[in-house]
Amino acid sequence: MDETTRYRRALGTYATGVAVVTIAAEPNDSEVVALGMTINSFVSVSLEPRLILWCVDDASERGKLFAAADHFAINVVSEAQRGLADRCARRDSYRLTESDVQAGPSVGSAPVVRGGLARLSCRVHERHQMGDHLVIVGEVIDFEALEGEGLTYFRGRYGRIEAS
């Protein structure tokens, strides 16, 4: 086993929640579409101002679209949305449908996933290149938390956390 695989396995021992980042993109300057990318981590940076961060891999073929977006939403998905998380994790299936998303809370904001556990609508605050990833810091401009069972990710597999 090479060093990179060993390192990824070590990182995989940290159980995380699962979220889908959404943006609005104009792939051919003709129609606006919603795009989604599954992530297994984001970080709360500050409560005042409300800042979060997430990272996009430089090698990601859709990463350039997400890196260029001025608005994005972090959508914490529920256990019932495992299929959406799977779909948005694949390289060729990140275009979302009207049944997946709804309009964001304000003009210009990113679309948000229907029925997730939480939605954090953000505008980009800063971008920083670090190693082989772009760190995107977003200012949370609107948020909502809903009820449901949580979807987790541990050692390459999904799990769930029951709401109490």
pLDDT per residue over 62-116, tens digit each? 889 999 999 999 999 999 999 999 999 988 888 898 899 998 888 888 999 999 9
Question: What is the value of pTM for the model shown?
Answer: 0.91
Residues with Cβ within 8 Å of 86's Cβ and at least 6 positions away in sequence, in order, are: 38
pLDDT of residue 28: 53
Q: How confident is residue 163, by pLDDT bands cut at 50, 70 and 90?
A: confident
Q: For the domain 16-156, what is the CATH code?
A: 2.30.110.10
According to the model, what pLDDT value does residue 72 have?
A: 97
Tokens of 128: 């920083």
Q: What is the arithmetic mean of pLDDT over 20-44?
A: 82
Q: What DSSP string describes the chain?
A: --HHHHHHHHHTTS-EE-EEEEEEE-TTSS--EEEEEEES--EEEETTTTEEEEEEETT-TTHHHHHH-SEEEEEE-BGGGHHHHHHHHSTT--EEPTTTEE--SSTTPPPEETT-SEEEEEEEEEEEEETTEEEEEEEEEEEEE--SPEEEEETTEEEEE---
Nearest of 21, 57, 66 to residue 42 by alpha carbon: 21
- Domain locations in the chain? 16-156
